[in-house]
Amino acid sequence: MPSWSLKLSALFITLFVLAGSFDYARGHVKNSSAPLQPPIADGAAASGSAATASPGPTIGPLLTTRPGQRVPATTPGPRLTLAPGVQSASLAPITLTHTS
């Protein structure tokens, strides 16, 4: 086999892998099963400054996204609907559910 054909084949394989993995990475920007999930530098800095401004307890970001990545739409939580005749009362909320 001539030398140039071997080189060309190897180059073609490498370029094919490069193009294929580029396309794959573009389609799968955020991989939740990736072994490394580094903290986001800008996000961490931003949340750090916000934490100093508000003294109350805060929770971290539930979903980390890279810049330019589309944020998936969040689904609304379950809503409580009351019958038309039911009205709210100014009583203390019932927190004890134990019955003897």
Partner 1 sequence: MDPQLFVWIVARATGVAGYIALCLSILSGIALRTSVLDFLATNRALRSLHDFMTWVWIPLGLAHAGSLLLDKTAQIAPLDLVVPFRVSYAPLAIGLGTLSLDIVAVITITSWLRRRLDDRAWRWIHRASYVAFVTLFLHALLSGTDFSSPLISSISWSAALGIGLLAVSRIFFGRLPE
Q: How far apart are CA 49 and CA 45, in angstroms?
A: 6
Q: How far apart are CA 47 and CA 54, in angstroms?
A: 11
Least gap, CB of 58 to partner 1 (angstroms): 22
Amino acid, single-letter form, for residue 57: P
Pick one of 14, 51, 60, 61: the residue that binds partner 1 (CB under 8 A). 14
Least gap, CB of 91 to partner 1 (angstroms): 51
Asked if residue 14 lies in contact with residue 21, where contact means CB atoms within 8 angstroms, the answer is no
Least gap, CB of 49 to partner 1 (angstroms): 17
Output the six-digit token pair for 59: 């929770």
Contacts with partner 1 by CB under 8 A lie at 1-3, 5-7, 10-11, 13-15, 17-22, 24-26, 28-29, 31, 33-36, 38-42, 66-69
